[in-house]
């Protein structure tokens, strides 16, 4: 595992080459793991918009079926803070790597089972119940995965490239959207509409079994971070030197809440805009764009538009993350929040044109602007907390923001659209962006923070 740059002799080219090679391995492994994990998570968002209303809620009207489908989608977000707490506890106690392996394995199993799940027509009401339970399991897994993957990268990265390497873990989200949309498009083009709705949609979920193999690779070929190893050595030394019985440590989650309640709350607020905008842009717009009374686009046209926009989001995240390494995290994050809020009012008028390329511009603008926040976020959240509670603190901030922002975003957007007017969905995005802007304003700059500090 790569060491912090401060411990690497700058005059030794071999050492520097070793650091860079180690970091590439860590970063690419994190990217692979998070991409497939987010692929699994986003498959559900796509299926919730296009398949699950008829497969699991056939007795409902189309609108009610869509709302119920997006309701099961929210189950994953309800579980994410619990996953953050559970995996955060063990991530700070036993290491980043081992908890990441369990999270990857859990997601692979849950997603594969969704692909094998009988529908309402076969087992009745048990089908949506089991679907919700598996979605809850996905949420637990994603709640633990993010903290493990981003800490493996950011705690190992050179101090002056922490944002850049952290963006590899963050790139898993748009990469997952791309993979999920490509999977659905390939199946959709390969089989008839009836076959797609009956069994074709299952194939992308069953393909998630590959995540189990990635988790095994991480277990066998990766080491834990130097920052965590140093923490273990320090704690072992203190226990050896201490007189009397060993002191029982409080749960890292409780320690994080006790030490950093304001930072956790503000981190959640900072993440709010990203989550609201993101799930509207990759989930809700699929239903809105294919609605006969809206843009009237085909399913594959909307999937392709979201996929192209996600491709553009990835370089936007890396550019923003690299900028944050040189100039700080807060400025680029706040600019992204402002632009996301403003762009919300251009989003739906562009989609309403029914012009494919203008729809690509609409979704791309939103994803690129939120990428200005999401790119530097791994480094930003890592630097907010000390080593002994970093997994717990960062995960809590991230996952609380996820449930507040993303859990019900497609559902709220659907209700605002069908009951009022689409402009209120833009207002919803703008309000979330304002709250994120205010949260970051109240946080201090972190980009020169040492990750080897402990309390």
Domain, as residue range, for 220: 16-236+249-441
Q: Check: CB of residue 397 under 8 Å from CB of residue 389.
A: no
Please give the pLDDT value at position 343: 97
> Would residue 446 count as lying in a domain?
no
Distance CA 162, CA 165 (A): 5
Q: Which two tokens stand for residue 450?
A: 């040492």
DSSP label at residue 175: H
The answer to whether position 179 is within a domain reads: yes
DSSP sequence for 272-284 = HHHHHHHHIIIII
Q: Can you tell me which residue has the tokens 């309640």?
A: 261
pLDDT tens-place string over residues 183-226: 888 887 888 888 888 888 888 888 878 777 777 776 666 665 55
Q: Does residue 242 form part of some domain?
A: no
Q: How far apart are CA 272 and CA 264, in angstroms?
A: 13
Q: Contact, 49 vs 66, CB < 8 A?
A: yes
Q: Which token pair is 51? A: 């398949």
The reply to whether 89 falls in a domain is: yes
DSSP structure string for 194-229: HHIIIIITHHHHHGGGHHHHHHHHHHHH----HHHH
Q: What is the pLDDT of residue 85?
A: 80
Per-residue confidence (pLDDT) for residue 47, from 0 to 100: 83
| Measured distance CA(117)–CA(60) in Å, rounded | 20
Q: Tell me whether residue 225 is in a domain.
A: yes
Q: Beta-carbon neighbour count of residue 73 at 10 Å? A: 27
pLDDT at 239: 56
What is the Cα–Cα distance from 67 to 353, expressed in whole angstroms? Answer: 25
Residue 387, token pair as written in the block: 């080593």
Residue 356 lies in a domain: yes
| Residue numbers in the chain where pLDDT is lower than 50 | 1-11, 245-248
Residue 58 phi, psi dihedral angles, 5° rounding: -70, -20
DSSP state of 131: H
* CATH number of the domain within which 23 lies: 1.20.1250.20
1 falls within a domain: no
DSSP-H helix ranges across 353-389: 356-383
Domain assignment present for 155: yes
pLDDT for 7:
41
User: Is-contact 117 5, C-beta < 8 A?
Assistant: no
Q: What is the pLDDT of residue 235?
A: 57
pLDDT reported for residue 116: 92
Residue 226's pLDDT is what? 59
Q: Output DSSP code: residue 157.
A: S
- The structural domain count of the chain equals 1
Q: What is the pLDDT of residue 366?
A: 96
In three-state secondary structure terms, 241 is helix
SS3 (DSSP) at 448 = coil
């Amino acid at each position: 595992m790569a060491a912090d740059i401060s411990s690497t002799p700058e005059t030794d080219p071999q050492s520097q080459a070793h650091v860079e090679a180690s970091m590439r391995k860590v970063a690419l492994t994190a990217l692979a793991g998070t991409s497939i994990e987010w692929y699994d998570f986003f498959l559900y968002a796509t299926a919730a918009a296009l398949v699950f209303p008829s497969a699991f809620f056939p007795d409902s009207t189309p609108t009610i079926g869509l709302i119920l489908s997006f309701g099961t989608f929210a189950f994953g977000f309800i579980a994410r803070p619990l996953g953050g707490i559970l995996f955060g506890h063990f991530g700070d106690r036993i290491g980043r790597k081992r908890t990441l392996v369990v999270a990857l394995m859990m997601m692979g199993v849950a997603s594969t089972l969704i692909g094998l799940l009988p529908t309402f027509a076969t087992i009745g009401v048990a089908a949506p119940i089991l679907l919700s339970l598996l979605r809850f399991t996905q949420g637990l897994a994603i709640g633990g995965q993010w903290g493990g993957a981003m800490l493996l990268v950011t705690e190992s990265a050179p101090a002056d490239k922490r944002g850049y390497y952290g963006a590899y873990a963050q790139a898993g989200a748009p990469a997952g959207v791309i993979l999920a949309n490509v999977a659905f498009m390939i199946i959709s083009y390969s089989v008839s509409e009836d076959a797609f709705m009956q069994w074709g949609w299952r194939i992308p979920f069953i393909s998630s079994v590959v995540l189990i193999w990635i988790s095994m690779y991480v277990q066998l070929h990766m080491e834990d971070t130097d920052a965590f190893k140093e923490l273990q050595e320090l704690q072992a030394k203190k226990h050896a030197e201490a007189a009397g019985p060993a002191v029982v440590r409080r749960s890292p989650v409780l320690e994080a809440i006790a030490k950093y309640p304001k930072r956790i709350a503000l981190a959640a607020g900072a993440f709010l805009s990203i989550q609201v905008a993101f799930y509207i842009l990759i989930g809700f717009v699929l239903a809105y764009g294919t609605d006969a009374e809206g843009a009237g686009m085909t399913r594959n046209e909307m999937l392709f538009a979201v996929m192209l926009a996600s491709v553009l989001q990835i370089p936007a995240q890396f550019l923003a993350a690299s900028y944050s390494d040189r100039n700080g995290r807060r400025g680029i994050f706040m600019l992204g929040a402002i632009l996301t809020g403003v762009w919300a009012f251009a989003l739906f008028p562009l989609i309403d044109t029914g012009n494919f390329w203008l729809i690509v511009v609409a979704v791309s603008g939103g994803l690129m602007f939120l990428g200005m926040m999401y790119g530097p976020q791994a480094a930003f959240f890592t630097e907010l907390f000390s080593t002994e509670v970093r997994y717990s603190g960062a995960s809590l901030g991230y996952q609380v923001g996820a449930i507040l922002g993303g859990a019900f975003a497609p559902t709220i957007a659907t209700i605002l659209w069908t009951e009022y007017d689409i402009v209120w969905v833009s207002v919803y995005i703008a309000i979330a962006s304002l709250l994120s802007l205010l949260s970051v304003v109240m946080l201090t700059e972190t980009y020169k923070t040492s990750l080897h500090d402990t309390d």
